[in-house]
Amino acid sequence: MRVHSEVEYTGVRELRGPLVVVEGVTGVGWDEFATIVLDSGECRHGLVLEVDRDLAVLQVLEDTAGMDRTGTRIGFSGAPLRIPVGAGWLGRVCNGRGEPADGGPPVVGSVDAAVGGAPINPVRREPPTEPVLTGIGAIDVLTTLVRGQKLPVFSAAGLPHLEMAVQIAAQATCAGEAFAVVFAGMGLTHADAAFVREGLAERSAAKELVLLLNTANDPVIERLLTPRLALTVAEHLAFGEGRHVLVVMTDMTAYSEALREVSAARGEIPARRAYPGYLYSDLASLYERCGRIRGRPGSVTVVPVLTMPAGDITHPVPDLTGYITEGQIVLSGDAHAHGVYPPVDPLASLSRLMRKGAGAGRTRDDHPYVAAQLIAALARARQVRELADLIGRPALSPTDRRYLDLEDAFLRGFLAQNADERRALEDSLDRAWDVLLSLPRSQLGMIPAAVLDAYAAGGNGVGRDGTTS
């Protein structure tokens, strides 16, 4: 990423956290890429955050540690940061700046692309219509992920969101079509980074994975660059080479905290909980880069993972993410406490585009009905459990006691699966039927009679436990 410039500036006025303030500059623009050469000969890189007359504020990708105001030379490229893109990224492991971390040579490509990118023009967007199957029953059946969708995972400290993110990245498929995964890790511990590399080794060896890992001790500015690199690589794989690409980004809370740190260093007026007022637009500039483009093959689907501080879903990061994205998958501390993995809370989770990618010709004809009925049954089961806490289980009606049993059957028979288990959609739907058919037929009013007859044992309206309506 070394940039050759005819003019180098030495007027460093201030070093402020990850920022460098340079004076006496001319012709420098916002988001311009720069090369910073220290007195020792070390080369670092930066991006222009702000320009005011002859002053330019740069964010240094490698941080300002060890830098001195004197002896530092800065050359501006006259253009935003660009990286090579193409299939050369597949199978590679890089740091958050895109530099090899696997011992291999630098990534090369036939063309370059600007890292900043841009959201897809709404006029050219193609409506999502096909599913991305993750091999996780709770997602595939109840919150189906659709190609071109942005569907975040909301978690909290202590919940297995990283394990779930790795499982999604390792197992996701698109009905046999050309597929790739770009995994962007931000603020990971070294143990977590090693876990990610190990869990995705098979997909990486198959040249279906791009892995970008920013660890907690890496410069904070690198954390802001990592998701943009990931999306730039994904866009070319999708719209340039016709692949369906899944981008998994974790943890967006770590990204937002890095944004807050840089904002504080710039002396900006803080907004909610000291985050910058432009947090919403910054997150949207990432999430809105997914989708499908009319007339072009391929798609970019985004699954951002974020941890909610203290489990607060009204925290600015999950709150603003929910406004931008098309649903959410929420992890439950209660399910995790019962030893269930993945601990998905089905009543708090939602995929707003699910009906675009589920049903006849896409998954299975009974899928939408089964999902709706199962969610309704779980909602009723939760009400019954609250009633049972008041009056006791013996005072419940036989039907209400069936709902309590259904909730337990859902946790153990449908929701629970191993972290390395790729569950086929047919198996997941059959398990959902097993749970539902523990209820009397009269309680399955959201499923058309013809569908119920076709999938109930014997097709005569008799449940698999022998009960009748």
pLDDT at 457: 59
User: How many CB atoms within 10 Å of residue 242?
Assistant: 13
pLDDT at 118: 82
Residues 186 and 208: their CA atoms lie apart, in Å, by: 20
User: How many CB atoms within 10 Å of residue 56?
Assistant: 28
Residues 369 and 451: their CA atoms lie apart, in Å, by: 9
Tokens 């500036």 sit on residue: 9
Question: In sequence order, what are the residues at sequence separation of 6 or more whose Cβ sits closer than 8 angstroms to the Cβ of residue 468?
Answer: 440, 441, 461, 462
Tokens 């999502």 sit on residue: 128
pTM value? Answer: 0.91
Question: In sequence order, what are the residues at sequence separation of 6 or more whose Cβ sits closer than 8 angstroms to the Cβ of residue 412?
Answer: 340
Residues 370 and 351: their CA atoms lie apart, in Å, by: 15
pLDDT at 6: 53
Residues 393 and 390: their CA atoms lie apart, in Å, by: 9
Q: Let me know the angle formed at the C-alpha of 463 by 461 and 467, rounded to the nearest 5 degrees.
A: 100
pLDDT at 121: 87
Residuewise pLDDT in 10s, the chain (469 residues): 444 455 789 889 999 888 999 999 998 988 899 999 998 889 999 999 999 889 999 999 888 888 888 889 999 988 889 999 999 999 999 999 999 999 999 999 989 999 988 888 889 999 888 999 999 999 999 999 999 999 999 999 999 999 999 999 999 999 889 999 999 999 999 999 999 999 999 999 999 999 999 999 998 889 999 999 999 999 999 999 999 999 999 999 999 999 999 999 888 999 999 999 999 999 999 999 999 999 999 999 999 999 999 899 999 999 999 999 999 999 999 999 999 999 999 999 999 999 999 999 999 999 999 999 999 999 999 999 999 999 999 999 999 999 999 999 999 999 999 999 999 999 999 999 999 999 999 999 999 999 999 987 544 333 444 344 3
pLDDT at 466: 39
Residues 160 and 163: their CA atoms lie apart, in Å, by: 5
pLDDT at 82: 92
